[in-house]
Structure 1
Amino acid sequence: MRRHDFAGPRDLRSIQEMCSRLWSPTSRFHPGQLAWNRYYAPVDALRPRDGEAISLWRDADERVVGFGWAEAEDWLELQVDPACPEVAEQVLDWFEEWSDAPTQSVMLMEGDPAEQACHAAGYAPEEPGAPFFRHHLLDLEGPRLVPTVEGYQFRHVEPDEAGARAACHAAAWSDVGTSAVTGDSYRALMSAWPYRPGLDCVAVDGDGRMVASALVWLDPATGVGLVEPVGCVPEHRGRGLAGAVTLAALHALAGAGGRTAMVTPRGDEAYPGPMRLYRSLGFRPGARTVTWTRSLG
């Protein structure tokens, strides 16, 4: 195996191709999630953000068989080809060498082959009741009709609307905190594979202002579309816009050849709203994440 540090868009695409090749309903990542993670906020395309590190492992045929994405010194995301479980140990060793944090956490899917390496490295799974995420899947043979919401229309985003689309997202998440999404970062996102404007749907009010949104990422190799993210501006909530704009995006996904839709909301009862919304649209729960943590003090 050969490891090298992240060096730009070609490496991101290689990681995405690995995730597409290995995708199953129990996989940690969809290619669209990686594009969102990389470009949602302003970033130098050629290197990780400050306080972040990304590294890739390739086999003798130059295929990516694992990666580690340290989003912070105390938080690691990783995925490893199940045919190469030994790479998980190398990823954890790399993270330990890079990080100075006294406590380190890794998020995996339950039953992931990397669990064994985490256990051997001194990580322990989260206690019952801790926050987690759960995949939800929907067969797209016949998504529900998009309801009419008086005073609003649904459409997809145009390529020159990055600024307005970013503003809609930022406003929708304003009650959580200041959003890192900007017009420039969204413009870069729109240039990233596998983004399609036709799968980026918004609800607009009578003045034409975007007030709710649902972005879907279609992986054409698997036919799986990831819904990520969905949001509604606070003053327009309570009208069913988040569900309606998601249904509009799902119809667009089906029209683009998607066969399955996936979304990964929180699965614990401490934050049930999004999960209830998606289940009301027909999504059914599947595999969940588990956070593994160790202390080095």
Structure 2
Amino acid sequence: MTIISRSYKHKKDFNSVMAFLRDNFTRRGNMENWLPPRFENSAREMGEGSHLWFNKINDESSSDIVAMANPEDKNKYFIQVDPDHAYIENDIFEWIINTSREASSEPHTLSIVTLDGNRSREKVLEEMGFNRGRVYGILMTRKMEGPIPNFSLPERYTIRSVTEDDFDEIASAIRVVFGHGEWFTGKILEQNSKATYYHSDLDLVTTDTDGRIVSFCTFRYDLPSGITELEPMGTLPEYRGMGIAKAMVCEGLRRLRKYEPSLLYVGSADNPAAKRLYQVTGFKVVGLYFYWEKNID
């Protein structure tokens, strides 16, 4: 079978990539690849530097995609691969290395982020000069059949659904919590609210006694697959340690139940406090993402 590749074209390829990711999880329970909510949230920003691999017979269509490489930035990549086509991973990594070299003539470190445990992939990376580095993040899942804890908010604090009037204030809170720059504005959240994964009753905030938004939490539900991502979740520093985040997550879980998700997951930073929050609300660690790094001269 001949495999060919080309650049990702958002308008042409978005739906086909989403179908590819859904199919890989539905048929195989494969969580090494990104899941649909994460790709939809990132596709426009990452699309320009992404690349697709597919069968030659479908060279005019992305409907039978077998792999994808997509950058989180110019020197940090993720790959999405149909397990039946894992034999092309060497070619994918070669493309990433060459693309990184073309992007910068200066010495730099190239990173490929992958879920721990795929020994055949790790062997290929090692043979190509990559070394496993630090933890990138933690993958956690939660079964919806289990009980939902009943954590309470502080007195006179309120959990409610987001309205479009909240986007600017939430964006400000996200900048504080995650260190995003001034580029992250309410316009981004407004755009996210038009995504297929967005359901207003699953987009939550907590307000204090003065009506200030102090915490935010969104469950991104992909209707065709039922796959749901908890992202983002954060609380302003001065309001932490009050049980607000626990109460918000559990309220979101109660609202999510009626959708009967096939999978609920969260990709958390390697942060002890975040890990404790998700574990106490019923999530379990299922894997770690690691940086695999190579010095490019």
Please indicate the TM-score interval, normalised by the length of the shorter structure.
0.7 to 0.9
The answer to whether the Cα contact below 8 Å between 2:268 and 2:275 also exists between their aligned partners in 1 is yes
> What letter matches 1:79 in structure 2?
Q
The answer to whether the Cα contact below 8 Å between 1:124 and 1:292 also exists between their aligned partners in 2 is yes
Name 1:7's counterpart in structure 2: 9
Range with greater deviation from structure 2 (285-294 or 158-167): 158-167
Q: Pick closer, same or farther for the CA change 1:179–1:109 going to 2, 3 Å.
A: farther
Matches within 5 A, 1:118-197: 118-126=125-133, 130-141=134-145, 142-159=147-164, 161-173=166-178, 176=179, 178=181, 180-197=183-200
The secondary structure found in structure 2 opposite 1:264 is strand
Name 2:211's counterpart in structure 1: 208
Structure 1 residue 206 displacement after superposition: 2.8
Distance 1:153 1:180 in 2: 29
Matches within 5 A, 1:20-35: 20-23=22-25, 24=29, 26-35=31-40
Name 2:18's counterpart in structure 1: 16
> What letter matches 2:21 in structure 1?
C
Q: CA-to-partner distance for each residue in 1:195-215, whole Å, 9 max, x for gaps? A: 222211111223333221111
TM-score normalised by L of structure 1: 0.84
Distance 1:88 1:160 in 2: 45
Structure 1 residue 170 displacement after superposition: 2.4
> What letter matches 1:58 in structure 2?
F
Distance 1:224 1:198 in 2: 16
Q: CA-to-partner distance for each residue in 1:257-277, whole Å, 9 max, x for gaps? A: 22442112234xxx3111111
The answer to whether the Cα contact below 8 Å between 2:33 and 2:81 also exists between their aligned partners in 1 is no
Distance 1:159 1:22 in 2: 34
The structure that is helix-richer by fraction is 2
Name 2:239's counterpart in structure 1: 236
TM-score normalised by L of structure 2: 0.84
Which residue of the other structure, out of 33, 37, 44, is the alignment partner of 2:42? Answer: 37
Structure 1 residue 38 displacement after superposition: 4.0
Structure 1 residue 177 displacement after superposition: 5.2
The answer to whether the Cα contact below 8 Å between 1:203 and 1:245 also exists between their aligned partners in 2 is yes
- 2:289 paired with 1:286: no
Aligned-residue identity in percent: 21
Distance 1:262 1:194 in 2: 14
Distance 2:72 2:240 in 1: 31
The answer to whether the Cα contact below 8 Å between 1:25 and 1:286 also exists between their aligned partners in 2 is no
**Runs of 5+ in structure 1 lacking a partner?**
none
- 2:58 paired with 1:91: no
**Runs of 5+ in structure 2 lacking a partner?**
none
Q: Pick closer, same or farther for the CA change 1:231–1:186 going to 2, 3 Å.
A: same
Q: CA-to-partner distance for each residue in 1:123-166, whole Å, 9 max, x for gaps? A: 2223xxx3342211111123223523312111222355433332
The secondary structure found in structure 2 opposite 1:151 is coil
Structure 1 residue 21 displacement after superposition: 1.5
The secondary structure found in structure 1 opposite 2:211 is coil
Distance 1:9 1:206 in 2: 45
> What letter matches 2:7 in structure 1?
D
The answer to whether the Cα contact below 8 Å between 2:24 and 2:30 also exists between their aligned partners in 1 is no
The answer to whether the Cα contact below 8 Å between 1:76 and 1:107 also exists between their aligned partners in 2 is yes
RMSD value, Cα: 2.4
Distance 1:9 1:273 in 2: 39
Distance 1:211 1:201 in 2: 11
The secondary structure found in structure 2 opposite 1:140 is coil
Which residue of the other structure, out of 118, 122, 134, is the alignment partner of 1:115? Answer: 122
The secondary structure found in structure 1 opposite 2:41 is helix
The answer to whether the Cα contact below 8 Å between 2:153 and 2:243 also exists between their aligned partners in 1 is no
- 2:50 paired with 1:54: yes
